[in-house]
Chain A
Amino acid sequence: MRTLTKLDGDSSRARRELHDRVEGSGPLARHTVDSQSQRQAGSASFHESAEKHVTGKAAYVDDVKTPADALHVALGLSPVAHGVLTSLGLDAVRQAAGVIDVITFHDVPGHTDIGPVFPGDPIFVDQEISYAGQCLFAVAATSLEAARRAVKLANVEINEQHASLDPVAATQREEFVRPTHIQERGDWQQTLRQADNVLENELFIGGQEHFYLEGQACVVLPTEDEGVIVHTSNQHPSETQKLVAEVLGIPFHAVTVEVRRMGGGFGGKETQASPWACIAAIIARRTGKAIRLRLPRSDDMRATGKRHPFHNRYQLAIDRQGIIQGGEITVIGDCGYSPDLSDAIVDRAMFHADNAYSLGNARVTGHRAKTHTASNTAFRGFGGPQGMMIIEAAMDDIARRVGEDPLTIRKRNFYREGHDVTHYGQQVDQIKLLHTLVETLESSSEYWTRRRAITTFNEASPIIKKGLALTPVKFGISFTAQHLNQAGALLHVYTDGSIMINHGGTEMGQGLHTKICQVVARELGLDLDSVRISATRTDKVPNTSPTAASSGADLNGMAARDAASKLRERLFDFAAAHFEDGLDREGMRLEDGMLIAGRGESERRIPWGELVQTAYLNRISLSEKGFYATPLIYYNRASGQGRPFYYYAFGAAVSEVSVDTLSGEYQVDRVDILHDVGDSLNPAIDMGQVEGGFIQGMGWLTSEELKWNDKGILISDGPATYKIPTFGDLPPIFNVSLLEGHPNSMASLYRSKAVGEPPFMLCISVWSALRDALSSLTDYATSPHLDTPATPERVMLAANAIREKAL
């Protein structure tokens, strides 16, 4: 089931879709399969860099060659979490071998606050220290080793203060980085008062280190005027351009930021790649030298923020069938010391506190707690996963309370006819798709047969317990900050017919550049080989949004398509007027590297190269820019109501686990996934996102444990102590399919759906299956408490607690 229906390349249809786009949601047009487009959008093309990846030729930032006199930068990070910097003795650092420059807060020529959305992130500590790992100073030396050794010579005096590390306590004290936000629908208090049954529970959901294999890195070159060129591993080049310019006190056009590719991003390079570029830029301007800055892994892990840990709780009214009538959910995001993107992240947790279920009359409250840790930031799902966890916990809890299978309870609570409006007022489109998807998976995974087998197994097995769970995903697609839902592209056709497309999105491994090239190839009827992307550069496409929110292909693909279709129409106009015997403008199309006009006997074919050459000689522009802005979306923050998402992406997963209840060890035996990507832009790449997202999520909920000591120092600061999934964690049976025959109901790019984040949350099925296995220790009468990550330690202690209770 890994192939998907191909898309059609009919340009008049494409034009109609473009028209629909302007109108908002066009009527659903299921096009016929067109063999012409198989090499283009819709086909399983290889990653554009695949061959370079496997031969080591793909260059990452630290592979960029620089002049021999380039300087290397190392950072002096705060060893304490909270306090006041009373003295920063750097004489020994300055005198150390190889050191060329040392800078602190006082050496910043322009802005010193580099907060991305809201202020609050000083580039260097001035006086107040807010987390262990915060940047105190930077050293530039002739080698990285010399710079790192010099850093250790600093004489730092800090008046250490008590570190606030508990977000729940911070919430009680109302220590927030941003104000609390509430979404409310219906009289939830009345519903709770009149309920048959009220359930409540709480859950701690751990954070997650991005662990991009390529750490934060940049290379900054001074230009001949007052500016810099920045090579950076970065999801948001435009923001880095802005911040570098502001820090240097120069206009934006003096700064060019280039991103060829990242060795993984996952959200960790959305805002938190900028500080290093800013620091390197200051030193580049001071010394006139090329500057290399990359963070050693432990510095990277201590200095940068992570996925937000959350403390969530619910109080829900249910009827006798276990159907939610209404209630209250509170989520507390542990934001760390500054706002960063936390406002939108906690919002997204709130937007997903319902997951796929109607909450009825409900209030959802989101707090943004301030603690003395690194400023937590974007990470695949952006708060959504943490929000979903609480309602999935509730589903299991309800099932145990009413004595039904958790899947039955989940299905009863799905958004359904008459119950199709979320707590923030958006009507859930494609409800039927959700139901179909889950029923299909239920059957293909043989959920009920396996459920019976597992129950039998568990009855006879006192130590090893098996667990099974199906959990759905409904994930809202669009930036919740409306203005970010825009994208640009720049398309050049050269006179040999080859094409350069640039767009605002960045390549972090997700195959975005491949998809964009496929879009252009499809629009212009060319082979994929004819289309190339050089790099993402702020001087090619300006004022771009971050490559985030799963929106890379949706937004930039549309912009690229806009540019390509405009250029195509211009070439059609030209061809119709130029070629002698009068070509039929109406039926003109680009296919197989040809402009084709007319049909049957009157068909005329002009090779693409000839068309381009002729157009050039006739002074027709062969360059075009494209633009896209997502229609229809809005959100009223004051009322907490709106339609923040253009559409939803759906999916579901069934996980089966075996748990050793004596040691807490467990294994994931089998996983079945069915995921909705609309009409896939590239099934191979989409499969990669689904599988990779699932395993990454599984790591988040199982083995990846962030630990700080009681002074707020991160003690899991490298892969020796922070364990992401490895090869053997891949489930032996891993059946992953993309849902076929359900194009996006909105006029998205060829009716595809975003795929970056949604599959991440399929992993919740693993956690729910672990709880299911533990619940068997009580004959499914109770719902065990299991905070995350559910390490063997947590699982063993949970099992022990159940056993002790039974004694």
Chain B
Amino acid sequence: MATIEFLLNGTPKQCDVSPDTSILTLLREHLGVTGTKEGCASGDCGACTVAISNPSDAQPHFESANACITPAHQLQRQHLVTIEGLASGAQLHPAQQAMIDAHGSQCGFCTPGIVMSLFTLHTEQQKCPTPLTPERLEASLGGNLCRCTGYRPIRDAALNMLQTPWESPQWLDAALPDTASPANAHEIAPNEAFFAQPTTLTALTKARRCYPNARLVAGATDLWLENTQRLAVLDQLIDVSHVDELHHIEEDSLHGQSGWWVGAGVTYTQLEPLLNSHFPAFAHLLHRLGSQQVRNRGTLGGNIANASPIGDTPPVLLALNAWLELANHDGTRQVPLDTFFTDYKRTLLAADEVISRIFIPKMDSTASLRVWKLSKRREDDISAVLGAFCYRLEEGVLHDVRIAFGGMAATPKRALKTEAALEGQPLTKASFQSAQQVLSDEFQPMDDVRGSQHYRHQAALNLLERLYLTLSAPNQEVMLHAYAH
């Protein structure tokens, strides 16, 4: 047990909770505040959506999160806003009123979560209005499942609520009493449970060395499922999310190649502006990665260190020839990403190491990137197959071809033989047909809940055909608008 202090709807709270307590458990079981609901305890339904801001920010910036898989300890000195906080007496928040007016609730169980997602959208729009495109609405609400309404009235509520400004209540500016030293700063006994929150890379690597059995936690969007779904005890946790060095994005070069060093603790939401400007295909993928709640918490480093064969960003980073910087208490080393994944869920990362930064090389102005994700559902789903294709097309000939797949092997993996089959080849049907034959033998994908082996195999071949069609018949529609970018 350790004490956390935070604001709950403007009221300072102090709670003693174990390291693996979620915000949802804290609310429902410790505090008896039950407006926030549990639908799945896996971050997939959004019924438990809450909003979190940092009270030390000049202007409150609320981000949505799934309370069921967000560690309560990450509330340390944060402001947690829940469904109970939105109404001031009889005066409802515009999101609440709009939901009523649009008949947006039926059974009502998902409603608190939907209102909270609308709340964060509303506050963002009030601060910085941007066009509410269908994509924007999807990004804001795709992580909130509703089984009753079919979403039409919720869409109406989202559009209508913005006509009413929110007069933010005074408690929104509440501050926490100052404390002399951060909690958890004391020395930790070897078997003691803890939730360490180092603030520097040095402190992080030191903690990593001292507690080799402790787990690293960033956004917890996957780790926490070990607790909620498989009941793993997560009693020694080192939180990387407060480490300053892990949050920077810097333009720099590596081995003479210019690009960006992205801190491993950068969340998907924080990564978005860079990708929008320089890697639109990657940015588009990001919109289909998890939900807003997940993108607000999940980090690029976490997605790589997790080493899942169906993680979304690794195949893209492989195709882009990304590098990693790994740090321990003695220093850092740099490794190409395509050597990092050694086997199913295994990596080069030593027991005392962390991923500190990811280098994403700038793309040559003549180079192109295509990223295609196949899944059962367009939003908030995990890939069955993900193909990332990087290449240059010069005078009808393919150069610098790098292709990587997710979902086709035990790790995210480059298609080296297929790359070789296309390298230096003219853009012809014959080139791609022979590349397809190579690809056909290069992978033996798995058969699982997300797709059969046969499907994955055929899908990868078809994505290669899509690449050919995209390049050879650029004026013809070969993709659906909802999936294209």
Contact = CB atoms under 8 A, between A and B. Distances in A.
Interface in A34-87: 44, 46-47, 49-60, 62-63, 65
Contacts of B39: 213-215, 297, 719
A50 B105 contact: yes
Interface stretch (B78-86, B332-340, B358-366): B78-86
A510 B459 contact: no
A213 B458 contact: no
B231 A148 contact: yes
B107 A56 contact: no
Interface in A661-675: 662-667
B379 interface: yes
Contacts of B382: 720
Interface stretch (A194-202, A412-420, A553-561, A683-691): A683-691
Contacts of A694: 150
A351 interface: no
Interface string B128-155: 0000001001100111111111111111
A716 B449 contact: yes
Given A509-B107, A793-B451, A663 B37 contact: no
Given A212-B147, A213-B109, A719-B145, A55 B83 contact: yes
Given A297-B39, A463-B477, A696-B147, A726 B106 contact: no
Contacts of A734: 152
Contacts of A148: 231
A464 interface: yes
B42 interface: yes
A273 interface: no
Given A55-B83, A56-B84, A665-B480, A213 B149 contact: no
A520 to B, nearest CB: 21
B476 A462 contact: yes
Contacts of B455: 793, 796-797
Contact of B108 (A261, A688, A695): A261
Interface string A768-807: 0000000000000000000000011100110010000000
Contacts of B148: 264, 509, 688, 692
A658 interface: yes
Contacts of A215: 39
A792 B374 contact: yes
Interface string A126-145: 00000000000000000101
A285 interface: no
Contacts of B197: none
A733 B465 CA distance: 31
A264 B111 CA distance: 12
A265 B379 CA distance: 25
A663 B149 contact: no
B109 A264 contact: yes
B231 A149 contact: yes
Given A666-B480, A718-B40, A721-B449, A53 B147 contact: no
A461 interface: yes
Contacts of B36: 56
Contacts of B381: 723
Given A54-B96, A214-B37, A718-B44, A703 B109 contact: no
A719 to B, nearest CB: 4
Given A297-B40, A658-B480, A692-B149, A58 B448 contact: no
Interface in A135-163: 143, 145, 148-149, 152
Nearest to B111: A53
A693 B97 CA distance: 24
Question: Which of A49, A212, A662 has its CB near the most chain B CB atoms (within 10 A)?
Answer: A662
Contacts of B462: 662-663, 796, 800
A113 B39 CA distance: 30
B351 interface: no
A726 B377 contact: yes
A270 interface: no
A463 B28 CA distance: 51
B274 interface: no
A666 B482 CA distance: 9
A451 B82 CA distance: 49
B147 A266 contact: yes
B452 A793 contact: yes
B466 interface: yes
A191 B37 CA distance: 58
B248 interface: no
B112 interface: yes
Given A56-B112, A720-B42, A724-B147, A511 B106 contact: yes
A261 B37 CA distance: 14
Question: A interface, by DSSP: helix, strand, loop or mixed?
Answer: loop
A632 interface: no
Contacts of B282: none
A262 B142 contact: no
Contact of A707 (B40, B109, B449): B449
Contacts of B59: none
A660 B451 CA distance: 18
A53 B47 CA distance: 12
Nearest to A687: B103
B379 A726 contact: yes
Contacts of B111: 53-54, 58
B336 to A, nearest CB: 30
B310 to A, nearest CB: 11
A695 B151 contact: yes
A727 B42 contact: no
B2 interface: no
A715 interface: yes
Given A56-B83, A719-B45, A727-B151, A47 B103 contact: yes
B152 A703 contact: no
B217 to A, nearest CB: 19
Question: Which of A716, A718, A736 has its CB near the most chain B CB atoms (within 10 A)?
Answer: A718
Contacts of B103: 44, 46-47, 50, 684-685, 687-688
Contacts of A656: none
B34 A59 contact: yes
B314 to A, nearest CB: 18
Interface in B152-203: 152-155
Contacts of B404: none
A719 B469 CA distance: 35
B5 interface: no
A800 B147 contact: no
Contacts of B469: 463, 662
A715 B40 contact: no
A730 B152 contact: yes
Interface in B221-245: 228-229, 231
A337 B450 CA distance: 26
Nearest to B157: A54
B454 interface: yes
A663 B155 contact: no
A660 B480 contact: yes
B483 interface: yes
A495 interface: no
B449 A715 contact: yes
A298 B450 CA distance: 17
B376 A791 contact: yes
Contact of B154 (A46, A49, A707, A727): A727
A598 interface: no
A60 B374 contact: no
A298 B229 contact: yes
Interface in B428-458: 448-452, 454-455, 458
Contacts of A695: 149-151
Nearest to A264: B107
Contacts of B483: 660, 663, 665
11 contacts: A44-B103, A50-B103, A464-B477, A464-B478, A688-B103, A718-B40, A719-B45, A721-B450, A723-B376, A726-B145, A792-B374
Given A264-B148, A266-B147, 15 more contacts: A60-B37, A65-B32, A263-B109, A296-B228, A297-B40, A298-B229, A664-B459, A667-B480, A691-B152, A703-B377, A718-B40, A726-B145, A728-B482, A792-B374, A800-B458
